Amino acid sequence: MSIHSLRLCITLLLMSLLVAACGGGDATSAAPPTDLTVAAGNGQVTLKWTPVAGVEYWVMYAPTSDPINLKSPPGVHYWLNNVTSPLVIPLLTNGQAYSFAMNGRINGGIGGAQTASVNLTPRLGGVSGSWAQGSGLDTAKDFKGLAYGTATDSSLDYIAVGSAGAIYKSTYLNTDNALTWSSTASGLGINFNAATYAFGKFVAVGSGTSNNVVSSADLATWAAATTAIAGGLNAVATDGTTAVAVGNGGKIYWSIDALTWTDVSLGAVQTDLQGVAYLASGSWVAVGNNGVLLTSPDGITWTRSNASLGTATLRSAAAVGSTWVIVGDAGTVKTSTDSGATWTDHSLALSTPPNLYAVNGSSTTLNSLTQFMAVGASGAAYSSSDGVAWASQSVGVSNTLFALLGTATQYFVVGAAGTSRTSQ
């Protein structure tokens, strides 16, 4: 064999190996998506595009506000291969700008041209412009309670409870920014005011019958508590092992199964209790009319606080770390940093402050950020990093918001006339 022939054979061999390494003779690049969108979330972003069958997509992102070039990446960058739409990229830093771009290939070929670089900055949830409208709640009913948990079919479900026995459910996907609700119970004869998830089942409480507590593990069959509770119940909470429900006339009940409830009401407290919460480290609080505040180390033994909180109706409590927040009527906001021993007034300084019906505290471990959210009458919504200074946020509705549920990355609210909003 001549040297020329030998070189030709070696060249052809190398070419065949290269083609094989790239996925075979039909390996090619692919056109990038033409409709890439990137939506900001709390410590995350969601990418969406229209995929083409047979195309493997790649995403590169970098902590920079400058456009990025996939062929000459910046010093710090990250690749995600073989991704599908929608794509959630978590563990991002709020307030830090990121740039995103993507391309595609077929059968392991060389990546094709990239999309235009998209720049976006993750931010806390609940801010103006981040709320999406849910659908399916009965607009003839007011919804006052929210809860989420795992039903017996292993799906993560949310429930919204409200007037005239309304219980609706929704299965939430993290890549969506809205909930679609469907009715899961009717004819229960209870005007529901609150809900929680405890003991592996959903629990809803309210007023209107001789027994105002129902529970369900599968969201199909609802069982009434075996303990008759005739008085109206306005709130329910759990620490994971005990559930506590409070209501009119100072009523307080606790349970470890949602079926049998024990009355531990304080005889000296006859005022209506509107809210109850487990705040952490064995600390429970209950709040109500005329500025009443009760505390408990276990949800069973309760003591009325001597703290002076005014005469406004207090409706909800939440905590992040050592900061406790209580909200109520006429824009009332109270904070404590010593486990409720002393309180400072930070009520909304408005000419006509709204009644605040719910407050939620959440934090993001990655970003070391704290946020309280409060919602109330006429679509009022406020956020705060410390419970002291509050910024008004627009949810996009004028209906009263009664219930608020928050996690590290998203918020859910429901309210009057079937209102449902989600912020991610």
Q: How far is the C-alpha of 280 from the C-alpha of 255, rounded, in Å?
A: 18
State the DSSP code for 17: H
Measured in whole angstroms, the distance separating CA 178 from the mean position of its chain's CA atoms is 11
pLDDT at 2: 41
Q: Which residues contact 327 (CB under 8 A, 6 or more apart)?
A: 314, 315, 316, 317, 333, 334, 356, 357, 358, 359, 374, 376
pLDDT at 21: 42
The whole-number average pLDDT for the span 165-188 is 83
**Overall CATH class of domain 27-120:** mainly beta
Side chain identity at residue 330, one-letter code: A
pTM of the shown model: 0.83
pLDDT, tens digit, for every residue of 359-385?
A: 999 877 666 778 899 999 999 999 999
Q: What pLDDT, on the 0 to 100 scale, is given for residue 18? A: 37
pLDDT tens figures, 16-72: 333 344 444 588 999 999 999 998 888 889 999 999 999 999 999 999 999 999 999
Structural contact between residues 162 and 184, judged by C-beta atoms closer than 8 angstroms: no
How far apart (Å, rounded) are the C-alpha atoms in residues 214 and 222? 6
Number of H helices, E strands in the chain: 1, 36
Q: What is the DSSP letter of 141?
A: S
For the chain, domain boundaries: 27-120, 131-423
- DSSP H/E element including 20: helix 3-21
As beta bridge partners, residue 375 has 358, 381
Closest to 244 measured CA to CA, from 188, 291, 298: 298
pLDDT at residue 15 greater than cutoff 50: no
- How far apart, in whole angstroms, are the C-alpha atoms of residue 345 and residue 325? 10
- 238 near 278, Cβ under 8 Å? yes
Domains 27-120 and 131-423 share a fold: no
Provide the pLDDT for residue 174.
Answer: 56
Fold (CATH) for 131-423? Methylamine Dehydrogenase; Chain H (2.130.10)
- 344 pLDDT band (50/70/90 cuts)? very high
pLDDT at 4: 39
